[in-house]
């Protein structure tokens, strides 16, 4: 469907269950996914752009679809910084949007994103990069469940070199945070965090938490056998028996 929309030079939003691609004249101009930190996180988490500066840009230029242009014109970020950060967010989110899915795919013509056009990317390039990234992850550690479940550090001692960026990930692998959560805390693209997590998993340094074993039920209290009141019918039969025996 993406190839067809690119061929017809469509403009609008391609909606899938894991996010949205925005197209203008058949090229991808932005992407968003709940699984990936947005461009706002990538710009503000490292302190390059204050959070209030981002909110101001949204308020002033969001309704006109020119947030990117406003950030540059107001001097909050340079054109090069915005372009690099935007491309990082675009490819990061597109990786999840274009993931295999059984959910519906829809296209809404004419829809534009509030960031505006920063640097359009050919749809073919986005699809090709998405496939390359998926193959890379599979080569590193062919267990995709690692991408979406919380990860935890194993008891293994660190007897191999760990890069500083991987150590940052390792410090947050608490058995509660997923790789996506870790990416947001660090202000990094989710895909880069997935690479670090899969490399750490392949080295046996992190793993997905095992389900906790159900607690054994407490031992049953001993059954105490107590004499129960005699059944009235049984008592009557006993009296009849006793009377018969007395007459013999």
* pLDDT at residue number 140: 95
User: Which residue shows structure tokens 């540059």?
Assistant: 72
Angle at 93 between CA 153 and CA 20, to 5 degrees: 135
pLDDT tens digits, one per residue of 195-226: 999 999 999 999 988 765 555 555 554 444 44
pLDDT tens digits, one per residue of 117-155: 999 999 999 999 999 999 999 999 999 989 999 999 998
Residue 84 CB neighbours (<10 A)? 14
> Residue 186 burial by CB count (10 A; 0-12/13-18/19+): exposed, middle or buried?
buried
Global pTM value:
0.81
Q: Which helix (H) or strand (E) holds 129?
A: helix 123-140
């Amino acid at each position: 469907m993406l190839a067809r929309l690119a061929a017809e030079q469509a403009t609008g939003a391609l909606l899938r269950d894991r996010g949205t691609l925005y197209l203008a004249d058949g090229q991808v101009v932005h992407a968003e996914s709940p699984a990936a930190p947005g461009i706002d996180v990538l710009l503000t988490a490292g302190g390059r752009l204050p959070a209030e500066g981002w909110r101001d840009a949204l308020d002033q230029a969001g309704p006109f679809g020119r947030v990117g242009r406003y950030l540059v014109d107001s001097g909050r970020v340079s054109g090069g910084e915005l372009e690099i950060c935007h491309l990082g967010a675009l490819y990061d989110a597109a990786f999840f949007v274009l993931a295999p899915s059984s959910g519906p795919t829809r296209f809404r013509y004419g829809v534009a994103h509030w960031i505006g056009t920063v640097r359009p990317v050919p749809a073919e390039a986005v699809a090709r990069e998405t496939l390359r990234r998926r193959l890379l992850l599979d080569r590193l550690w062919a267990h995709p469940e690692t991408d979406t479940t919380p990860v935890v550090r194993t008891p293994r001692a660190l007897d191999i070199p760990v890069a500083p960026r991987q150590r940052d990930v390792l410090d947050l692998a608490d058995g509660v945070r997923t790789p996506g959560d870790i990416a947001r805390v660090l202000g990094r693209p989710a895909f880069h965090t997935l690479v670090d997590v899969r490399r750490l998993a392949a080295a046996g340094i992190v793993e997905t938490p095992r389900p906790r074993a159900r607690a054994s039920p407490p031992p049953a209290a001993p059954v105490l056998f107590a004499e129960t009141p005699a059944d009235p019918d049984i008592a009557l039969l006993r009296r009849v028996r006793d009377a018969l025996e007395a007459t013999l």
